[in-house]
Homo-oligomer: A and B are copies of this chain.
Amino acid sequence: MKALAIVSGGLDSVTLAHFLDHHEQLRGILSFDYGQRHKKELQFAEATAKRLDVPYHQIDLTNIAAHLKGSALTDNVPVPDGHYEAETMKQTIVPNRNAIMLAIAFGIAPAHDYNAIAIAIHSGDHFIYPDCRPEFAELFDRMEQKAMEGVANVKLLTPFVTITKAGIAHHADVLKVPIADTWSCYKGGEIHCGRCGTCVERREAFALAKVEDPTVYADSTFWIEECRKKGVTF
């Protein structure tokens, strides 16, 4: 496949890019600026494209995001602390975000001769985000085969859809992904906060995968308490 990977700059999507590169399928990287407060992540997406020597595309969706429902990722709503599975993490849902990003990616693929779109959805996201589940991915792919029938032949790739984030951390280790050059924190500060859902999830993933985490967190003990609450021990 000649794949265009949707990369946010986080651990999952940067590992996806390296995974595709390892399989000689990576041809380009696409990022979206949707007004996320952690826009800082985009510089890590661009750096990934440079490191893996493929074209980098960035699309500005801020004028669309202005019409979307308030989310803690984009609006003046505080990013909730705590584990991802908590009810409060639903505040980080941007309605239909993956369908919008994927539809645009499929639309631009023919212009650049990409025949696959890859996205790093994984099983750890299934609980909160419906547009990260396998049923969504399967229907999206089928929908696109009809939407572009006779126009272009582009497939959806979701190699991580059935593995956990710990599984991705394992891939990152094996593929020698420069983990320090990925950005997860939803708060977009100078360093990772260590308290928001994605920081807690990141730390837990490395711990479960027994992979050293080089990330510096502002609050380095919060996650331990959070994992204890969830019953995870290391």
Residues of A within 8 A of B (CB): 57, 59-61, 63-64, 67-70, 93-100, 102-104, 106-111, 130-131, 133, 135-136, 139-140, 142-144, 146-152
Contact = CB atoms under 8 A, between A and B. Distances in A.
Contact of A152 (B59, B95, B135, B143): B95
21 contacts: A64-B104, A64-B107, A67-B104, A67-B111, A68-B108, A68-B111, A69-B111, A93-B151, A95-B110, A95-B111, A96-B103, A96-B106, A96-B144, A96-B147, A99-B103, A99-B107, A99-B143, A100-B100, A100-B103, A131-B146, A143-B143
Contacts of A110: 69, 95
B130 A99 contact: no
Given A67-B59, A146-B133, A100 B104 contact: yes
Q: Is the interface of A mostly helix, strand, loop or mixed?
A: helix
Shortest beta-carbon contacts, A-B, top 6: A96-B107, A69-B111, A130-B149, A139-B143, A103-B103, A67-B108
A146 B139 contact: yes
Given A96-B104, A99-B106, A99-B144, 4 more contacts: A96-B106, A96-B148, A99-B147, A143-B143
A77 to B, nearest CB: 13
Contacts of A146: 130-131, 133, 135-136, 139
A41 B67 CA distance: 22
Q: Which of A61, A103, A139, A149 gathers most chain B CB within 10 Å?
A: A103
A13 to B, nearest CB: 19
Contacts of A69: 108, 110-111
Contacts of A142: 139, 143
